[in-house]
Chain A
Amino acid sequence: MTILKTALFDSHIAAGAKTGPFAGYDMPLYYKEGVLKEHEWVRTSAGLFDVSHMGQIYLEGPGVVPFLEKITPSNFVKSGHGVAKYTVLTNDNGGIVDDLIITRINDTKFFSVINAGCKEKDIAWMTNHLTNDVKLTRLDDRALIALQGPKAEQALREVFKIDTSHLGYMRLMFVDDLIISRLGYTGEDGFEISVPANKVAALWDKLLANPLVKPIGLAARDSLRLEMGYPLYGHDINDQTTPLEADLGWVMGKGNEGFIGAGNVLGKTLIRKRVGVKLTDKGIAREGADIRNDKNEVIGALTSGGHSPTLKVSIGMGYVDAAYTAPGTNIFVTVRGNNIAAEIAPLPFIPARTKSSKKAAA
């Protein structure tokens, strides 16, 4: 298999990135300062991520809203122009094909960003379910970067004279050939910026020339999203987990009972649920570790886990039997044969600092 590279690969190497394979791409894992410093930088200033490996598509046509309400359990009929939604694609069993962002551009056109590792699967899935009044367009000639952190708005203003003060959380705006969405995967204020691939290197370099901005690799992206309890597809959610089991019931739109797999999701009694796990004793909890009750019975397993640079303890996520989902429940995580004391923790582990979704200046 050919290893793919994004349009920014040479920039990453020049910046001293250690790279590794992710979803078929050779991607920056961390740069010179290391993942802990990068994590901290995003929480205090502005970090720049290359997420060009993700898929970008347009879905448009007179039938696009019914189509979206078929492939996702969300409501789109009332969503306003420029409003982004986080949702999931479901399969016939009610399992999750992918999680994604879908943003309304106008009455009949939506922009969507899908996971890198699911790109071809999602596009095939959507294409198979397309009605003849909806068209899917791949935006393979566009790159995607994320600028995340409390200084992201200031950096965009200083570097490009782009004023986003009026742009609320989960809102999109067009600036020339850029598509700027105020959202991300870190829990901080920030933006994902879609840009023609042939212009991304210049954009990247200009942003990095600002002292507020440093490049951030995928390793810190993982620890940042873990602290926020955001699921990672293929780990915390997959084609076997339903939106309700995944604790993503909030994406489900009231009255949408016609989405694919609805009969296997709606009204089902949950036997397991995704929860946060925080170690109360020393150690590092990682994906795959058993979760046990105080009788040493296995009640679940971790689907993500690691060190929280903000909390300085180990945190994770996993699925446990429904009887053990209450925050504060004492549990154990088995690491190399030893049971380490832990508890069920509410998600997110630290409060999100995203901007209000109400427009600052209406």
Chain B
Amino acid sequence: MLYELWILAISSLVAATCGIVGTFLVLRRIAMVADAISHTVLLGIVGAFLVSQTLEGPLMLIGAAVVGLATTYFIQVLDNAGVPADAAIGVVFTSLFSVGVILVSLYARDVHLDVDHVLMGDISFAPFHTIEWNGIPMGPQAFWVILAVFIIDLALILLLYKEFKITSFDPALAAALGIPVTLIHYLLMTMVSITAVASFDAVGAILVVALLIVPPATAYLLTEKLSRMIIVSALTGVAAAVTGYYTAKYFNVSIAGCIASAAGALFLIAFLFSPSQGILLRGRQRKKAAAPASS
């Protein structure tokens, strides 16, 4: 029972965190950068492991942040040099990830860090990896890591809400107003990086992309206000986590796979039935909207 609660708590927090940060990735149309970062942070994890010889603590988050920023920077450099943006992402992402894979196979063979685990994640073991504080059992480490990242992400978005908003909607105006567009961009990429690492244990690198992109894309179809999009995105993620977990339990299959599938199913429902943008109701709504828009 307690085991189940921890799994639900961890996966819900992961989903909510990804949903919040992912909202800005979807709005900025850089969803695929998330894909790149979620893979290249492997290099950061291995780097942190080589330095500290453990897989614990804030060092992993720092390693991920560094490599995440490097990924963003290299993509930008190639893009500026005239390499098409999608090709730039492909080149940087596979290069850094492959270095990470080699380093894992070289040095980290004997620890709980293998490529399968990084790619697929395995939340079913997360509750067993617990920590203590002054002799008091504190529960699973994964929970505290993702909670910390959730708080960091949420605090930054609340504090810099209007800066995130304007740089996502109209970066040219933001720059003209003197708002540091590039700095905000790199801050967001740092948030994506630490979110990806903190989510690894639960869902793995591939499915973290599903949680970063699919719930925000769902919320995009359902809402007309940024604050509401963020909330709906987080809640959609949590709904996917909970239904995904119980589906996985019922059929005795991969939890991460079921969570991502549940997110996909929720998106499909929104895509078909969204009052403003769903393909089934859209025609009617557009006609209604067009009427007063003629002045």
Instruction: State yes or no: do A and B come from one complex.
Output: no
Binding site for B on A (CB under 8 A): none
Binding site for A on B (CB under 8 A): none
